[in-house]
Each structure stands twice: as structure tokens, then as C-alpha cells.
Structure 1
Amino acid sequence: MLRPFRRRQHAIEATLDLHGLTTSQAETRLHAFLCASLDRGRRSVRIIHGKGLRSGERGPVLRQMVHERLKRTSAVRAFLPARAEAGGSGATDVLLDTSGYSRNRR
């Protein structure tokens, strides 16, 4: 599944849009979204965080938070920027590993 994911030959099964949220709100929603996606057996999801063009000197704060959270989540097998027509660097496609996920672990 990793090779088709990297080649972007995968269907996105769910999308989360974090535009307009604070970092704290976005982190809470991201956690809930990942748990719900795993509970439903979804393997490929997209997170829209925006490009951070209005973040000024802070840079793309939501993208940074999303990527840090994904790195720390054991059920995340891989992630990469979405295709240009799907948001490019303003969205992240995520490959989830549902095989070892237990609904009781959160």
C-alpha cells in the first residue's frame, strides 16, 4: 500500500478541514478525526490545513502542528503533501495502518 500511496494512486476516504481554527482547536479535531478514521477502518485520509499565508512570521502553524502530530501517531504509516489540484502544500494526505489499531487505545 505504501508504493501506490507515494505514487498518489489512492482514493481519499475522508477529509478534515482545519481552516480558521486555532492551533488548540485544530489539534483536538485532528485527534478526533484520526481516531474516528481508524475506528471506521479508513486507510487514506486528507487533512486540509492551509498554506499559512496569513500566519506572517510564524509561518504555517497549522501545517507544522499537523505534521508534528502525525509523526507522533503510531497508526500513521506515511504522509505527504496532497497533489497540486487537491491543495498541494495546503493539505496533507495520510496513510493509516489500521491493522494494529485497537479501539480501546486512544
Structure 2
Amino acid sequence: MDIKVSIVDKVARMSLGGRFDFSAHKEFRDTTEQLLLRDEVSELDVDLAAVNYVDSSALGMLLMLRDKARNARREIRLSRCSPPVRQVLDIANFGKLFRID
């Protein structure tokens, strides 16, 4: 999985690409932990436009991120979901847990 990060107006956008599965665990965790430590970041936008596959471990990583962000008093948003990703998020009822744009 590819991760690109940009920060604009206190919003850190993590643009993910490729397969979002367990093999991305370390890189995803390290990137999100570093962003949550930055004072200039108040919101984390996880851009899923270029993700073509998610599995249950990816859903677990998003849930862990949600908990860590809540503890750090940061907002989380899932954005620009590709159709296959949106389908998985809908089936898992993530719309009740995350703001999805």
C-alpha cells in the first residue's frame, strides 16, 4: 500500500493506494501515530480513492485509529471511498462510527 501525507489548514490528509490489508499494518500505524502527535493537526482525513481492496484487518486498523484519535482529541474522516471500499464500509456499518464523505 502507498501512503502520501499532506497537511493543510490543520487537516492531515493520508492518501492511501492499493491493497489495504494486514501487510500495511506497520506503515499505517506508524504514519497515523506520528500525525496524531503533531499539534498543528486537528483532523485526519483518510482518503481512500485509490484503494482497491480492504479486508477485516484494515477495518480493525481504522477502528484502532478511531480510538487513538478520540484519545488525542482529533477528528477522523474517511473520504473519497472507491466503490469496492464503500461497499465494505457500508456492510460493516462504518457510517455509524465514522464521518464518511
Q: Give the TM-score band, short-chain normalised.
A: 0.3 to 0.5
Greater percentage in strand: 2
TM-score (structure 2 length as normaliser)? 0.47
| Structure label with greater radius of gyration | 1
TM-score (structure 1 length as normaliser)? 0.45
